Homo-oligomer: A and B are copies of this chain.
Amino acid sequence: MIEKLLAASRSNHSLLCVGLDPDPNLMPPIDIADFNRQIIEATSDLVCAYKPNMAFYEALGRKGLEALEKTVSLVPAHIPTIGDAKRGDIGNTDRMYARALFDNLGFDAVTVNPYLGSDSLEPFLEYSSKGVFVLCRTSNTGSRDFQSLECSNGQGGHRPLYLMVAQKALEWNRKGNVGLVVGAPHPEELRQVRTTCPDLPLLIPGIGAQGGDLEATVQHGVDANGEKAIIVSSRQIIYALQGSDYARAARDAALLLRDQINQFLSRRGGP
């Protein structure tokens, strides 16, 4: 999955990932798959990935699941799809989730929750050609409740839980298919994670609506080559305009954001 991500990112000169989160209260009164098709057609030369969040489809029942299936099939084959599912269960159950997300829905990558530990992630990690983004430091304010707790490392030292997760991610990365989710509203934590995991792709939600600073996100999120940061924007793009011209507005918003990211990237220097 990482090769596909890098190829899409390079050919579109983009670290931008558009979140496809259909909310009937915000979107025009049309078919969801049709709405997503228009958003995808308007932006597919500007992004490195698309990220549908499962919750928005599940809230619509079987009709939502059907729209999700269609949506994944509408994404051009060279652009990776990330199923934002945040799943995490015991092994024999996660095998079912992996089947649903990778085999049936056909996502190139998913997000997973690390709370249940290593064995719970194995069924996902076994898919060597797929990506597994592990929640590390999430973008919401409540993320500090547990993720920032200082934990003993068993050798007299301590570090916050999210860095314990980041450290473990290096072990889980035997097949080169692991990434981490780190929210943009926490730039210092993002820097720490990037320092701990110089080579892992980082999926970074939380710019825009959630208040993350874009320059700091770019600066601390990318790897030494200025790559492997996947900067997510959802509402800011797909609901840029609540009117009939929403697809063009989405394109304008995506173009602006992609170029802002690239500007910060070029200021940062590097290769």
From residue 25 to 82 of chain A, which have CB atoms closer than 8 A to chain B?
Answer: 53, 55-56, 58-59, 61-62, 65-66, 69
Measured in the bound complex, the distance between the Cα atoms of B152 and A151 in whole Å is: 6
Q: Which of A116-124, A196-204, A262-270 contacts B (4 or more CB under 8 A)?
A: A116-124
Q: Are B161 and A151 in contact (CB under 8 A)?
A: yes
Q: Are A142 and B118 in contact (CB under 8 A)?
A: yes
Give 8 pairs: A residue, B residue, CB < 8 Å, sorted on A. Answer: A55-B89, A55-B94, A58-B100, A59-B104, A86-B87, A116-B142, A118-B142, A145-B168
From residue 234 to 271 of chain A, which have CB atoms closer than 8 A to chain B?
Answer: none
Does A150 sit within 8 A of B, measured CB to CB? yes
Residues of B near A173 (CB, < 8 A) are none
Residues of B near A88 (CB, < 8 A) are 86, 113
Secondary structure type dominating chain A contacts: helix
- Cβ of A30 to closest chain B Cβ, rounded Å: 19
- Known A53-B93, A141-B119, A151-B151; judge A146-B164 contact (CB<8 A): yes
Over the window 198-225 of chain A, the binary record of Cβ atoms lying under 8 Å from chain B Cβ atoms (1 yes, 0 no) is 0000000000001000000000000000
